[in-house]
Structure 1
Amino acid sequence: MIPIRPSRPDDAPALFAVWLAAVRSTHDFLSEEDIGFYADLVRDQYLPSAALMVAVDGDDRPVGFLGMSGCRIDTLFVDPAWHGQGIGRALVAYALDSGQGLTVDVNEQNSAARAFYRRLGFREIGRSALDDSGRPFPLLHLALDGSGRREPTEA
């Protein structure tokens, strides 16, 4: 069983390291400039204010994290050294314990994330040409169990 606990303020540096390693491993469509743009937002705005669920190793070190807004997964990142070991699946299962269906947006170019969510039963319900920052990285809107229906959009 993978221990999952709420984030603490002192987790921020370790969570940022997980985020950065995961992005470098899975977001090959981003330039270094793009990564820098998002890194500033994640480190300075998102992590200090978000209530996250953190998967930890046996020494209580973060190896992955999940952020939610209602039934929407805002963020899910796993340290690449822990990929394939059930961390992401455990975090999504934890989110499902709320009894609600789930939605998530995933970068269209992130084939590994798309495959991960497809294996869990998510299906595409829409698409946006721009990401939440207005940048040209299309997002696929996914839902599990028919939750969170959005009107499909096309770019």
Structure 2
Amino acid sequence: MEIKELTALSDDEMAQLVSAWESSVTATHHFLSAEEIATIKQYVPQALRGVQHLVVAINAGQIKALMGIDDTKLELLFVAASERGKGMGSQLLKYGIAKYHVDELAVNEQNPAARGFYEHLGFKVVDRSPLDDQGKPYPILRMKRTPAE
């Protein structure tokens, strides 16, 4: 596995990113309908182009996981379903913590596996919102990380 930062995105890279995103969301966001995922998918390229740092994990020449960071906030982290549980997400997040001092994020409350993943890496829930950033009724947990002493 190779970790790489992307700046200018080719059409092929964008297609791989969207595919990894969709695979991840389908496997983990059971509270979303197929129609909701399809609607959100339309905005994924814009969101990916909008993050300050876009970091990917590449396996066998294909993008299998992606992470977006703005300042010290993790904006997105998605791992293709076929790669879940293999340490790829942990390696990406540890890279983000080491290089960009990632110390905050938001996660869907209805995705308990993600919450557990972030807690395992030192993040704690500090706030809860009953609505997501689009005003939809998907509660969001805001998490912060305190550096190890």
**TM value normalised by structure 2:** 0.89
Say if 1:101 and 1:143, in contact at 8 Å, map to a contact too.
no
The one-letter code matched in structure 1 to 2:3 is I
Aligned partner of 1:103 in structure 2 is: 104
Aligned partner of 2:95 in structure 1 is: 94
CA distance in 2, matches of 1:116, 1:24: 18
* From 32, 39, 43, the counterpart of 1:37: 39
The share of aligned pairs that are identical, in percent, is 34
For the aligned residue pairs, the C-alpha RMSD in angstroms reads 1.5
Mind listing any 5+ residue stretches in structure 2 that lack a counterpart? none
Aligned partner of 1:23 in structure 2 is: 25
Find runs of 4+ consecutive structure 1 residues off by over 4 angstroms. Answer: none
Distance 1:16 1:102, change over 3 A: same
Aligned length: 143
**TM value normalised by structure 1:** 0.86
CA distance in 2, matches of 1:22, 1:130: 21
Aligned partner of 1:3 in structure 2 is: 2
Task: Give the strand-richer structure, 1 or 2.
Answer: 2
The one-letter code matched in structure 2 to 1:115 is G
The one-letter code matched in structure 2 to 1:125 is V
Aligned partner of 1:127 in structure 2 is: 128
Distance 1:99 1:84, change over 3 A: same
Say if 2:74 and 2:102, in contact at 8 Å, map to a contact too.
no
Judge which range, 93-102 or 66-75, deviates more: 93-102
Q: Deviation at 1:118?
A: 1.2
